[in-house]
Structure 1
Amino acid sequence: MRRSIVPALTAFAVLGACQQPAAAPEPEAPAPVDTSTTPEEEPSSVPVTVSLESTAPLAEGNNRFAWSLYETLEGKPGNLFVSPASISGAFALLYPGAAGDTASQMASLFGYDGVPEDAFAATQNTLNHAVTSDTEKTKLTVANAAWLREGSAFQAPYREAVEGVMKAKVALVDFTQPAAAAKLINSWVEDNTNDKIHDLIPPSAIRPGLTELILTNAVWFKADWKSPFKAEATQDGTFYAPAGEITASLMSQTLKQARYLSRDGYAALDLDYAGDDYALTVILPDTQDGLPGVASAMTPDSFTTLLSDLDTAERKGVHVVLPKVSIEANYELNDPLIALGLGDAFTGAADFSRLIEGAGPGDLVISKVLHKTFLDIDEKGTEAAAATAILMERTAIFIPDEDPVEFRADHPFLIALRHKPTGTVMFMGRVEAPPPAED
């Protein structure tokens, strides 16, 4: 049977999360926000490297999580586009601060338990560098930041892991000014997603006295196809959407050497980007209404196996028909992540006792996990972006100590000595000059 290739699932395989060496310049902080750090807070920044082969468990764990997340979200109507790597990367920042069952649940969901705990930060950092790209036709950047409440402090081992090894930006923020704090963080997200992700964090999500920490990850990808589609070959045609037929712009070309597999109920095709480091995997059901059946039969294991098999698939000629695609999506991931086994982190059972100075088990919880994505596919190539924010709160309201008010009575003043129960002023006077100090 002849197949026209249309996108059933976009598997955008960005496999890590870290700030690339040449990150975009940070925005100037609004007046109420202080991003300064003191010299004694600086991490040791001892270089730690591990082999690229040791990152395989993290990449596999990310890919298993990718399908698990898709399964959890597939009931949402309409287009669906997420970045598993951005979400996993944000939680990689949090993982060194977790302990007990909270850490175990996180490790199991994202595959962090595939590497030794003491080598996690270095392994993540190695993967971070491996996935970035900066060529004329292919760019991929990943950036991380930890936005900590002004007046709080990270535990030294956690800060060393996140800032010293994983190279995340660390900044102190005044969360008593929610609008200014959100503007600062959202500007950083815009700068690190080529201005594609806006307003990731609404000011209402920041709660003065409770918000303690916000961890953010931003991913941006832009690449030309290895074999671009010709614009003159793009034609309007019928796309058979679940709600009925629509007219779409359908690109087409014939590839002579494409990695292609035919499986029970679907076909899979890799479309390579220039430089050969990245590919768009398209999984196409055999029938127009076959996507639910294909998705229900797929598992995290079979999905990762399919991706692995495509790497070594026999190359053959394929005529490709692919619609131009534009997607912007917005998710709050609390419920999906809880459903996937990350329950403790959102409740009083959370144990982030290795994160903040003075905060023990049960003192910090995740209040929100926010995720936004952008995708644009056309004849020339693909641009995609994603950002994830993990908002952490104290379980009890934190009332910051106010700076004492200066009241320096070194000049004439009035006094009134009064009876408090009745309010009667019993004595009143003025002090123009106290007696001189005795020698």
Structure 2
Amino acid sequence: MKTTFYISLLLAGLHAVTYGQLSPSYHNGHDPKEPKYHMHHESVATACLKLVPNNADFAFRFFKEVTLEAPNKNIFFSPVSISTAFAMLALGARSTTQTQILEGLAFNLTEIQEKEIHEGFHNLIHMLSHPENGVQLNMGNAIFVTEKLKPLKKFLDDAEALYQLEAFTTDFSNPTEAEKQINDYIETKTHGKNTNLVKDMDPQTVMLLASFVFFKGNWEKPFKPEHTEEREFFVDDETTVKVPMMYQTGRFDFHFDEELSCTVVRLHYNGSATAFLVLPAKGRMKQLEQTLVKEIIQEWSDHLFQRLVRLYFPKFSISGSYEITNTLSKMGIVDVFTDQADLSGITGTPDLKVSKVVHKASLDVDERGTEAAAATAVEIMPMSLPPTIEFNHPFLMLIFDRDTNSTLFIGKIVNPTITS
């Protein structure tokens, strides 16, 4: 019988506090804010770049699985945090268990070596944890281990060097104290955004692996709170709710995808993060979420152009909390959750398996933020009113890091009045 341990992953807090005026259109092909999946970005280490297409493939595969499991619910998660945590777990996995984890993360092991994967994640964590220009992005990993279990020094050293792992001794036989120790750590690391993630812990737990990401971005130009007003949001044919709707008129990177019948608006944060807001026509969400792949995002990027519009976007807070063991099993990561698990690289013996994987992410969007330097700029408006884009029915919100081309967060907002 395998000893089980609990993985508490992806404690992702996203706080998007202001709204961004976009930089000039990049139809000339040289916009530095364009989130590309190309592999020649000069500012990114080669090892990090090699992960880009694989991490993106994993992100959208995971999104498809989650939307199938919860078709009419809000969804919000951090694919880069899931990938990072399981790549770290692969450090301690052996044989088929390791292969399943890495292939489940969308890596083709005939094209990339395990060593390259770990080096890539090391560079990715380093780059994401040293943001510039006002984006706060913190990533990290922690392992909580019972005193009776002695992880191998090599695993701890490698995990610390590659994944910035912190290790703590925990008394799991006292679940209340163990939960408090872990939850306090996560709450501190996510600046109070993620609380009480771990609960109902099994006193037989011997190890808990936690991975977290916290993001706080200021839009380049905020909405004005006085322009926010209550407006209707159409959840479905039967349900309408009132939401505080923010408003701004300006030039935005815009594209309409005729094939998928969706409107795409791209907004930038100060710094290295960017957001794609995607509003499908009513009745077309399912088609969009089941066909979305990285190539479609790239196509949108290539076809964006600046357009003067009146934009309405809801002010909301949501969080997603998932037990994702079954989701990952469907994606090919199977043995690690069974008695077939081989995690002998962690403890030196093969008597360990993963019992549970928990993921929690949260998102806040409101008007606040710091005005851009050109606060006195005046927008010259045409005599006739520009077209209106109102995010008043279910939409997607995708957040990328431009420096590493990483998919930080994927959200589907079905009802912005439901917080969890």
Question: Is TM more than 0.5 here?
Answer: yes
Match of 1:321 among 287, 312, 328: 312
1:151 and 1:352 map into 2 onto residues whose CA distance is 17
Question: Do 2:252 and 2:266's aligned partners in 1 also have CA atoms closer than 8 Å?
Answer: no
Q: CA deviation at 1:350?
A: 1.3
C-alpha distance in 2 between matches for 1:116 and 1:281: 32
Contact between 1:140 and 1:221, CA under 8 Å: does it hold in 2?
Answer: yes
Tell me the residue number matched to 1:332.
323
User: Helix, strand or coil: the match of 2:364?
Assistant: strand
> What amino acid is the match of 2:76?
F
**Aligned pairs, how many?**
326
Residue equivalent to 1:230: 224
2:357 maps to which of 353, 369, 389: 369
Q: TM-score, normalised by structure 2?
A: 0.72
- Cα deviations across residues 45-96 of structure 1 (Å, max 9, x unaligned)? xxxxx96122123232222222222211214232111111222222122111
Secondary structure of the residue aligned to 1:61 is helix
Find the residue that maps to 2:231 and give its secondary structure. strand
State the SS of the aligned residue for 2:46: helix
1:196 matched to 2:193: yes
Matched AA of 1:267: T
CA distance in 1, matches of 2:317, 2:44: 37
2:334 to 343, 358, 363: 343
Aligned with residue 121 of structure 1, among 111, 115, 118: 118
Could you tell me whether the CA contact under 8 Å between 1:54 and 1:115 is conserved in 2? Answer: no
CA contact (8 A) 1:254 1:317 kept: no
Deviation at 1:98, TM superposition (A): 0.9
| Partner of residue 57 from structure 1, selected from 38, 47, 50 | 50
Residue 104 of structure 1, CA deviation: 1.3
The one of 172, 175, 178 equivalent to 1:181 is 178
- Residue from 236, 240, 263 that aligns with 1:267: 263
1:91 and 2:86 aligned: yes
Contact kept in structure 1, 2:87 and 2:102, CA below 8 Å: no
Q: Aligned partners of 2:345 and 2:282: how far apart in 1? A: 51
1:280 aligned partner, one-letter code: A
**CA distance in 2 between partners of 1:270 and 1:371 (Å):** 27
Instruction: Note closer, same or farther for the CA distance 1:175–1:157 as it changes in structure 2 (3 Å cut).
Output: same
Q: Which of 128, 149, 164 is the equivalent residue of 1:152?
A: 149
Distance in 2, matches of 1:257 and 1:281, equals 11
**After the TM superposition, which of the residue ranges 330-339 and 119-128 deviates more from structure 2?**
119-128
SS at the partner of 1:237?
strand
Encode CA deviations 1:357-415: one digit per residue, 9 max, x unaligned. Answer: 3x12xx21110001111111112369x999xxxxxxxxxxxxxxxxxxxxxxxxxxxxx
Distance 2:303 2:138 in 1: 28
Task: Check the 8 A contact 2:325/2:357 in 1, yes or no.
Answer: yes
* 2:106 is the alignment partner of 1:111: yes
The structure with the largest alpha-carbon Rg is 1
Asked whether 1:279 is paired with 2:274, we answer yes
Residue of structure 1 aligned with 2:251, choices 240, 250, 256: 256
Q: Which residue of 2 aligns with 1:132?
A: 129
Q: TM-score, normalised by structure 1?
A: 0.69
Whole-angstrom CA distance in 2 between matches of 1:247 and 1:223: 26
Structure 1 residue 318: Cα displacement: 4.5
Tell me, which stretches of 5 or more residues in structure 1 are unaligned? 1-16, 19-49, 387-439
The CA deviation at 1:197 is 0.6
Q: Output the aligned Cα RMSD.
A: 2.6
Where do 4+ consecutive residues of structure 1 move more than 6 Å? none
Query: Separation in 2 of the partners of 1:374 and 1:96?
Result: 28
Equivalent position SS for 2:149: coil
Does structure 2 conserve the Cα–Cα contact (< 8 Å) formed by 1:145 and 1:217? yes
Residue matched to 1:354:
345
Cα distance in 2 for partners of 1:259, 1:116 equals: 39
Shift of 1:128: 0.6
Partner Cα distance (2:253, 2:44) in 1:
30
Partner of 1:82: 77
SS of residue matched to 1:355: helix
SS at match of 1:248: strand
* 1:101 CA displacement: 1.6
1:38 matched residue in structure 2: none
What amino acid is aligned across from residue 307 of structure 1 in structure 2?
I
Question: Aligned partners of 2:171, 2:312: CA distance in 1, in Å?
Answer: 51
Structure 2 residues without counterparts, runs of 5 or longer: 1-9, 12-42, 370-396, 400-407, 410-420
Q: Which residue of 1 aligns with 2:383?
A: none
1:293 and 1:164 mapped to 2: Cα distance?
42
